[in-house]
Amino acid sequence: MSVKIRLTRIGRHKDPIYRVVVADSRFARDGRYVEQIGYFDPAKGPENADINEELALVWLSKGAQPSDSIRTLFTKKGIMQKYAASKKGAK
């Protein structure tokens, strides 16, 4: 099973809000997911995204691949740096 961390869209027409979820890559974008780890409202900007860092780091360490938009969001929130540091410290 290929697991990805990606966005799933919720919200009204022309007013999107996204959930940050961990899902099997074979499932539909808005289909079922394994776990929800946060929210992202593009109107408020990436610095106001609500993401559970502990869960994100756990899923990254288990091998979940972030989508391009999630990788950018995690980089702005500092999660990718923490993941790289924990990965470097484990070796």
- Give residue 20's identity as a one-letter amino acid code: V
pTM of the model: 0.89
Q: Where are the domains of the chain?
A: 3-90
Q: If we measure between CA atoms, which residue out of 73, 77, 6, 85 comes closest to residue 42?
A: 73
Place of tokens 């899923």: 59
- Per-residue pLDDT tens digits for 8-23: 999 999 999 999 999 9
Q: Are 53 and 42 in contact (CB under 8 A)?
A: no
Please spell the DSSP secondary structure of 10-70, one letter per residue: EEETTEEEEEEEEEETTS-TTS--SEEEEEE-TTT-GGG-EE-HHHHHHHHHTTPEEPHHH
Mean pLDDT for the chain overall: 93
**Stretch 28-52: mean pLDDT, rounded?**
93
Q: Answer yes or no: CATH 2.40.128.20 is held by domain 3-90.
A: no
